[in-house]
Structure 1
Amino acid sequence: MSTTASIDREQEADSKAAQVVQEKVKRRWVSYFWDTFDKSPEERRFLFKIDAALLTFASLGYFIKYLDQININNAFVSGMKEDLGLYGNQLNYMQTCWTVGYVIGEIPSNIILTRVRPRYWIPTMEVIWAILTFSLSRCNTATQFYVLRFFIGLAESTFYPGMQYIIGSWYRKDELAKRSCIFHTSSAIGTMFSGYLMAGVYSLGGKAGFKGWQWLFLVDGIISLPIALLGYIVLPDVPEISNPWYLSKEAKQEVAFARKRMELEGRKNRAPYTWTKVKKIMSSWHIYLLTLLYVTFNNGNASGQPVFQQWLKDSTNPKYTVSQINTYPTSTSGVQVVTTLIYAWTSDSILRGARWPPIIFGGVMNIICYISLAIWDIPTGWKWACFILAGCGGGLSGLCMAWAHEICAEDNEERAIVIGSMNEMAYVFQAWLPLIVWQQVEAPKYHKGYIAVTIISAILIVAAIATRQLQIWETRSKYNAEGEAEDRTSDRSDTLLLQDNGKAVDTVHVTPDDKRFDLK
């Protein structure tokens, strides 16, 4: 009896999922503000639960990741440099050690996520990096920082590509960019908060035997640890293996509903790794061009370098305080937050899922700002504007990841590996590029750095255009091939009209042997 009831619930979930397909022909105006306003009550309740759990944890986790990642820059300009005698390129080496650890861990971590439960793997790594962040407060030499920063990077490598993989396993195309970009804005918020936090804790210098910059690492760890522990409770895994407590009332039905949503979106479940699969992944343009797209985004700006802070610290007319040096540059992160959200809503709603226009706009803004800073001898007001408006190019990560989820939807393992490769190769470049073009001894002008990111931003624009064209070509080729196959194997086909309370919401091409729907 229980087996029959379970089958009935699965069938009911399938039926509901088919009925609430997102409207593509005609949309109500409220959907441009938030996509759930234009969905069925069942789907709205479901998305509310997933957003509240998954999106909240993802954003908080990325917030602490960037809080812990950027704190080294804020500590450096707030007394650490002078206290430890770091007058060479030690800051560059600390950043590189973190990046090397991050690079080593990314793809292996995402492969692990296709085999084990994310709800255990990701929070455990977060706990480890929170503990290591505490340990930074006891470092007395540059070498100690190098070692700890390497292991912090290794632990943090699990989070961003892993959470992007999970987000891409729950949301449909009209929902994905907004969630990915909301997730990404927490990095800018973490950067901003670290600046304000450093300004606040600097006054604690001398208390309990710790200097102001050491207190920053302690407070960061205190903030990070409870957020990491929260992951064990709320992270929902992926729909294929998920059974979270907050879907408790109708858990099996809602999980089946989530699986059907991804089936209708064309996103595949987990499958074994085979040599054929690996060859297919490595011979596709997906992994190479999407990786190039993300590498140029991630390295086409100066967000990882304290360029704004260094310029303020070098200024003698006027002379800025430690608090001002840490807080004024947060305006760049504020611009990043605003533009990231604008990109997300524009891409999902107005542009109907097109990811490339905001990416090109961000690349153009980078070129304008960094060419101006490379010239350097420009009006002070315009220099301030360039440092601040450079945030326009920092919010493209969510769009790039959303685009990758859509392009790689038909192979779960490809999607996981491509997402990991995108992030990993971006940080491979970030490991050595600063040692060449962002050398600390060249602060605050960084002429080579500004020229380099200008060129990289131009390549970003080319990569976005090429990705769009190849995606169009691939989609046309696939549909042409499917059409030929249907002509050979079917005597007839029907167009199924999906309805929600009597209103047509979508059409699906169905062949006679399609078991998902009954043709009438």
Structure 2
Amino acid sequence: MSPQNAYVSGMQTDLGLHGNELNYITTAWTCGYVIGQIPSNMLVTRIRPSIWIPLMEVIWSVLTMTLASAKNFRTLVAIRFFVGLAESTFYPSIQYVIGSWYKPDELGKRACIFHTASAIGPMISGFLQAGAYDGLNGKYGLAGWKWLFIIDGIITVPIAFLGFLIMPDLPSNTPAGYLYTEDEIQLARRRMEEIGRKPPSRYTKKKIIGFFSTWHVYLCTLLYVLFNNGSNPATSMIFWLQSFNTPGHQVFTVAQINTYPIPMYAVQVVTTLAWAWWSDAVKARWPPMIFAGTWSMITCIILAASPLYEHVARRWVFYYFTLVTGGLSGLILAWANELTGHDSEKRAFVIGCCNTFAYVVQTWLPIVLFPQEEQPRVFKGTVATAGINFAMMCTALLVLFLSRRDARRAAAAQWQADVAREEILGGNQLGVAEDNDSKDDGKVHEFELVDGEVIL
């Protein structure tokens, strides 16, 4: 559950929160989330995902319920940190698992369908929170905002236990059973072999150095960082609605403040699915990124240029557009899965880095660009977000250029290898070839193909 909802539902008053303390509470979760992601994604190549991911979900669900017992700012910060640490296992690990089962023309849809949960969750929870606050506020002596945390945990715990039963592992370590037959598992393994997506292998020094020797970890991570910080104006709508209320005059109730922003998540769901089907149909990840980035950039410019309380309907609508880039997460991670599919550990590392460094930036950037004291106007933050979206589009085009360059090099190397095979006895990878210049002495030379090059 979003701490912003609890904040405007009475937590601010009950705990005496002030200044940027809400930002620090959010940042505490982000810090835990950042610390846990890369280690978790490395572990999920060794520990069965069907055990690791549900276990962490149980832990963060219980911790979420304990937020209701918080008596002060420090307790909130401490608990939120550990919630983030446990929750760090979930999203990047799931995207890694999805990338272990699906081909490129299937992966975008699956990755984005999963990502829609990040939008559907707030839509459902917004109504649940409004109902819980109205129906349970004061029940058994607990304030409405405390019930929000309790109900959130109660809903999540049984889903976590269900994960132990239905969560798939990787094709390489999924046992035959009630979910998959042995034939289905073998089919999944063959499908991944056909596209060169490798199963986990042994960690070596050379492998780990290889994580950093290509552009993938740097540019895929940068692309994800820019995307992840390209929709921050969405956080302003709830404060904008609250700002209409003045002492002695209430325009919007707490329930309305919590529910009126919900349609922005519906926009995110629709656009996420649109980007997914479009991307898989054209077999390219970058076109939706350019389109959504342009749309978001225009949205930010209009929000920055519009007065807060003039043209209220227009501002209301454009707040709903602030999450049109939200669905790009699945596409970027699908792209990362495809670009690094030849090395399972590198793939896990790159995906973990994408999410980790996106949230490293998110620990401080919203505080700088969207400080609570400047809500809901946050002019500089909204303008900066337009620039972030432009940078995201430029990075997507650079990834496209480098991936096509690498594909051309791989094709040229493959052509060279094919020619070599035709010229050398039987086309074997390890064979002997007689030296044309030394036929009289019968000299022979061994050869081997290394990364597509013929080594004599």
- The reply to whether TM is greater than 0.5 is yes
Whether the 8 Å CA contact 2:268–2:325 is kept in 1: the answer is yes
The separation in 1 between residues aligned to 2:380 and 2:125, in whole angstroms, is 27
The separation in 1 between residues aligned to 2:314 and 2:37, in whole angstroms, is 39
Matched, 1:313 2:242: yes
- Pairing 1:171-320 to 2, within 5 Å after superposition: 171-203=102-134, 204-247=136-179, 251-302=181-232, 306-316=235-245, 319-320=251-252
The separation in 2 between residues aligned to 1:284 and 1:358, in whole angstroms, is 25
> In the alignment, which residue of structure 1 is the partner of 2:433?
none
> In the alignment, which residue of structure 2 is the partner of 1:123?
54
> What letter corresponds to residue 210 of structure 2 in structure 1?
K
Give the Å deviation of 1:318.
7.7
The separation in 1 between residues aligned to 2:179 and 2:94, in whole angstroms, is 20
Specify the structure having the higher radius of gyration (Cα). 2
The separation in 1 between residues aligned to 2:236 and 2:392, in whole angstroms, is 22
The separation in 1 between residues aligned to 2:244 and 2:21, in whole angstroms, is 22
Whether the 8 Å CA contact 1:292–1:463 is kept in 2: the answer is yes
Deviations 1:32-84 (A, max 9, x none): xxxxxxxxxxxxxxxxxxxxxxxxxxxxxxxxxxxx3x2x1111111111221
Whether the 8 Å CA contact 1:236–1:243 is kept in 2: the answer is no
> In the alignment, which residue of structure 2 is the partner of 1:153?
84
Whether the 8 Å CA contact 1:234–1:244 is kept in 2: the answer is no
Whether the 8 Å CA contact 2:226–2:389 is kept in 1: the answer is yes
Pick one of 55, 59, 64 that aligns with 1:133: 64
Whether the 8 Å CA contact 2:27–2:363 is kept in 1: the answer is yes
- Pairing 1:295-374 to 2, within 5 Å after superposition: 295-302=225-232, 306-316=235-245, 319-349=251-281, 351=282, 353-374=283-304
Whether the 8 Å CA contact 2:232–2:366 is kept in 1: the answer is no
Q: What is the TM-score when the length of structure 2 is the normalising length?
A: 0.90
Percent identity at matched positions?
A: 48
RMSD value, Cα: 1.7
The separation in 2 between residues aligned to 1:218 and 1:306, in whole angstroms, is 23
Give the Å deviation of 1:491.
5.1
Whether the 8 Å CA contact 1:93–1:146 is kept in 2: the answer is yes
Pick one of 401, 408, 414 that aligns with 1:469: 401
Pick one of 110, 117, 123 that aligns with 2:41: 110
Pick one of 316, 320, 340 that aligns with 1:388: 320
> In the alignment, which residue of structure 1 is the partner of 2:359?
427
Q: What is the TM-score when the length of structure 1 is the normalising length?
A: 0.79
Pick one of 8, 27, 36 that aligns with 1:96: 27
- Pairing 1:446-457 to 2, within 5 Å after superposition: 446-457=378-389
Give the Å deviation of 1:106.
0.3
Give the Å deviation of 1:306.
3.0
> What letter corresponds to residue 408 of structure 2 in structure 1?
R
Whether the 8 Å CA contact 1:100–1:428 is kept in 2: the answer is yes
> What letter corresponds to residue 209 of structure 1 in structure 2?
G
The separation in 1 between residues aligned to 2:176 and 2:396, in whole angstroms, is 37
> What letter corresponds to residue 410 of structure 1 in structure 2?
H
The separation in 1 between residues aligned to 2:306 and 2:252, in whole angstroms, is 20
Structure 1: gaps of 5 or more residues: 1-67, 495-520
Whether the 8 Å CA contact 2:166–2:179 is kept in 1: the answer is no
Give the Å deviation of 1:490.
2.5
The separation in 1 between residues aligned to 2:174 and 2:423, in whole angstroms, is 40
Query: Moved runs in structure 1, 4+ residues, more than 3 A?
Result: 491-494
> In the alignment, which residue of structure 2 is the partner of 1:490?
422
The separation in 2 between residues aligned to 1:458 and 1:379, in whole angstroms, is 26
The separation in 2 between residues aligned to 1:363 and 1:467, in whole angstroms, is 15
> In the alignment, which residue of structure 2 is the partner of 1:165?
96
Give the Å deviation of 1:477.
0.4
The separation in 1 between residues aligned to 2:317 and 2:64, in whole angstroms, is 34
- Pairing 1:392-411 to 2, within 5 Å after superposition: 392-411=324-343
The number of residue pairs the alignment matches comes to: 421
